[in-house]
Structure 1
């Protein structure tokens, strides 16, 4: 789906969230490196979407109230094959797959690195989420629209604050503190 489509989806999602519909969304970490997607994700979460990030998802899938599913699989050359799934063992398997991915995915958008969330700590929250999702530095630079030096400096600052010697330890310590 194009960025325009994703932005349009975010707008309709916001309206639907306003009507009390609950969304649980797992974002593919690689899609967050495309322009504007981190902003879309942050806006959706701010409006009540429950979102998590998984490093790499094999397909796009929508499940509605455990009654219907929709799967979109890449078919090559930018084509997509899609399947509508009605109540069946396949739908039960898709719900189980979603649940498994949801439980292992990283919560999107830290709840604030410090008590007062300013622009700097919001960037740190997004940085921690992207690091925990397994995104490369190049993908993080594109996703957050910052320079490679900014990413390196922010990661270093976070490691110093928490006493972490590696990025893995940084993510673990951030999770222990409830920053993720």
Structure 2
């Protein structure tokens, strides 16, 4: 018998009517009656089962029982209600979580994420005002580094007044300038005046920028290294200033001490002995400043084990057993310009 083509809707209706009318129906009987292949009947049953109009038979394994359309429709509505209830519960849970986060945790996030405060000083007058204010609030130390061109006489006079006042009030000063500046008579006089007041002075062949670091929470950084100062950035707070301190430390430790006339190299060898290497000078300086070994290792870019070997090698070369003895020996040889209470921290 020739098989005719029927639509999926017609086939589904045909299968459903047959299942309602004949409890003993089979897929083969329906396929034969409709003149179609058995797999097409299987596909129709899948659609009917999805709609809830047939369900697997309890009495006939592999078979299906027809479900009254009203019952099938009620089940679909019930399933929809259940899904809607679950969705509403999920929405409620999400809203409760949002409320808890907004009420209890937003403050925690903002406290952890700090904001660095930067202030742009566009004019020389603004920079001078900032430096005057910084000098007034300085508590313990001020590190200055100038990497620009030669300073004017007015600028040197202003620096001398400001720095002399800080030195007189007990603020520890470090001054770091290009070596070429010391050749100027007026500037050399400024260095002599400050050195006589207790400031440490060093000169370098080149400095990458101009910078002033005040204590641990205030700094001034030039934007244009070639300009005398302006424009510049004022940095407030303790988050970024330590990084600028580390940069200053690097420049300071690679610079040469100033003896009142010109830059001098580190102390020459005594009796044929080899003076400190740059790494050893940095280690000693950091120890004098009270830094821990792990912090020194990070600053030098080495492991703590490597740092320990470097310190042990230095102690052996100096013929001493402890770091305190090493500080005394370095001071005796003139390789360490530190004495008294500062040595106690080594």
Q: TM-score range by the shorter chain?
A: 0.5 to 0.7
More strand by percentage: 1
5+ residue gaps in structure 1?
110-124, 134-176
Report runs of 4+ in structure 1 exceeding 6 Å deviation. Answer: 75-79
Distance 1:78 1:104 in 2: 23
Q: What TM-score, normalized by structure 2, do the two folds share?
A: 0.31
Which residue in the other structure is 2:261 paired with? 126
Which residue in the other structure is 1:8 paired with? 158
Report matched runs for 1:27-38 at 5 Å.
Answer: 27-38=177-188
5+ residue gaps in structure 2?
1-150, 267-332, 338-346
Q: Shift of the alpha carbon at 1:41?
A: 0.5
Q: Shift of the alpha carbon at 1:67?
A: 0.5
Among candidates 170, 180, 183, match of residue 20 of structure 1: 170
> Which structure would you say has the larger Rg?
2
Q: Shift of the alpha carbon at 1:35?
A: 4.0
Among candidates 108, 112, 118, match of residue 258 of structure 2: 108
| Conserved? CA contact 1:30–1:56, under 8 Å | no
Report matched runs for 1:1-180 at 5 Å.
Answer: 1-74=151-224, 80-87=230-237, 89-109=239-259, 126-127=261-262, 129=263, 132=265, 178=334
Distance 1:78 1:95 in 2: 21
Q: What TM-score, normalized by structure 1, do the two folds share?
A: 0.57
RMSD: 3.2
| Conserved? CA contact 1:62–1:71, under 8 Å | yes
Distance 1:68 1:35 in 2: 31
The alignment covers a number of residue pairs equal to 125
Distance 2:226 2:245 in 1: 26
Q: Shift of the alpha carbon at 1:62?
A: 0.4
Distance 2:227 2:239 in 1: 31
Distance 2:198 2:190 in 1: 13
| Conserved? CA contact 2:216–2:238, under 8 Å | no
